[in-house]
Amino acid sequence: HNRHGKSSLRTLSIQENKTNKVLQIGDGVKLRKDKKYSAILKLKCDTTNIKKYLTWSQLKNIEENNYRLFHGTIVSENSVPIEFVG
């Protein structure tokens, strides 16, 4: 989350298909067109940080309606092949 409470992409993990090596794009990794890569979606949610950006009335609404904020990590089961365009 950024300072306004909106989600933003900080790093992108890509797996090199032959070696199963995980590359962190946010770390300045350069991808090569002659290799095949795939990606998965991984979403981390920390309710402690989210609650910092919610107003008192939003927090009250969540509580009164018995909503629960998800805390944890969701990882996609499928990987998606990455194709270079251009």
Give pLDDT, residue 7. 42
pTM exceeding the 0.85 threshold for the entire prediction: no
Residue pair 50/1 in contact by the 8 Å Cβ criterion? yes
Written in H, E and C, the secondary structure of the chain is CCCCCCCCCCCCEEEECCCCCEEEHHHCCCCCCCCCEEECCEEEECHHHHHHHCCHHHHHHHHHCCCCCCCEEEECCCCEEECCCC
Whole-number Å distance between alpha carbons of 44 and 42:
7
Q: What is the mean pLDDT of each run of 10 residues along the chain (86 residues)?
A: 43 61 62 80 83 92 93 86 78
State the pLDDT at residue 34. 83
